[in-house]
Amino acid sequence: MGFTDKKLLSVLKKHGYKLTPQRRAVLKVLSSSQEHLTPADIFEKVQPEYPGIGLVTIYRLLQILTEFGLICEIHANDNSRRYLIRRQPEHHHHLICSSCGTVVDFTDCDLSGLGKRLSRETGFEIETHLLEFVGLCRSCQKEAT
């Protein structure tokens, strides 16, 4: 599981951000969703809780959450626009279905060896990495006949 909305709210508060009902509503949606949502998805899901919220407000909150590393983004899947996602505990990666776009998270990756080598060879000070596997999920394999 990821962060609760209470946790997210407290982080915002700690950094001097105001806790508006709009933000509460968005965080509620984000923290209770198992899927990876676009800003537009979030907009729709917030309607019942806070009709009339501005899409802009969502963009702004997502920007703040990104700064604090509370959400992360899906990068692969060229054609579809960039996705914003609710986050798992910490550092994790994605396994993405190239057909239907389903995303599965996984956490284990051991790239420290490779990271160290790259660092030595290139002089880079490595901060993080992004790892995504792309493939066909079970149900799309079946459909493929």
Partner DNA sequence: CACCTAAATGATAATTATTTTCAATTACAA
Partner DNA sequence: TTGTAATTGAAAATAATTATCATTTAGGTG
Q: For residue 114, what are the CA distances in angstroms to 34, 42, 129, 133?
A: 31, 37, 11, 17
CA-nearest of 73, 93, 68, 72 to 83 is 73
Q: Is residue 17 close enough to count as binding DNA by CB under 7 A?
A: yes
Question: Which of the residues 34 through 93 are near a copy of itself (CB under 8 A)?
Answer: 66, 73, 75-76, 78
CA atoms of 52 and 33, how far apart (whole Å):
20
Binding mask 41-80 for DNA (x = CB under 7 A): ---------x-xxxxxx-xxx-x---------------x-
**Residue 100 near which of a copy of itself, DNA, none (CB within 5-8 Å, type-dependent):** none
With beta carbons less than 8 A apart as the criterion, state whether 33 and 80 touch.
no
CA atoms of 43 and 61, how far apart (whole Å):
12
Q: Is residue 143 close enough to count as binding a copy of itself by CB under 8 A?
A: no
Residues that bind a copy of itself (CB under 8 A): 66, 73, 75-76, 78, 95, 97-98, 104, 106, 108-111, 114-115, 118-119, 122-138, 141
